[in-house]
Amino acid sequence: QVQLVESGGGLVQAGGSLRLSCAASGRTFSSYTMGWFRQAPGKEREFVAALTWSGGNTYIADSVNGRFTMSRDNAKNSVYLQMNSLKPEDTAVYYCAADPRSIPYGSTWYMRDEYASWGQGTQVTVSS
């Protein structure tokens, strides 16, 4: 499995910004799909964003669209989640995920927590 290490979480005031990083190793990165999920206390894990290394296409959940963006750095084998205009409801443990599958046209598998590899998670707390 791919090894994933998240970083960048912390405490931030509502309206502020935070940038999460996920360093990946142990795979052919160009063929993988990378994702971000989050899980708030007492809630189910939910999809946040995903991208494919090869095409660079990015998929953003409706709940964060317009505020969050996902990007990649091929040289560093890393992906990032830029979170702007943070709200208290964004408070959660954020997980990086990787899967060897691509995203065929019309496929929605990436929105589900069915990735092959997961990071340990990083806590994001947004205070009001």
pLDDT of 4: 95
pLDDT of 115: 96
Burial 48-66 (b: 16+ CB within 10 A, else e): bbbbbbeeeeebbbeebee
To the nearest whole percent, how much of the chain has pLDDT over 90? 82
Would you say residue 95 has pLDDT above 90? yes
- What mean pLDDT is predicted for residues 7-36? 91
Kindly state the tokens that stand for 128. Answer: 């009001």
- What mean pLDDT is predicted for residues 111-118? 94
What does the alpha-carbon distance between residue 1 and residue 89 come to, in Å, rounded to a whole number? 32
pLDDT of 26: 77
Average pLDDT of the residues of the chain: 93
Residue type, 43: K
* Structure confidence by residue, pLDDT tens digits, 40-93: 999 999 999 999 987 778 999 999 999 999 999 988 989 999 999 999 999 999
Would you say residue 27 has pLDDT above 70? no
Would you say residue 28 has pLDDT above 70? no
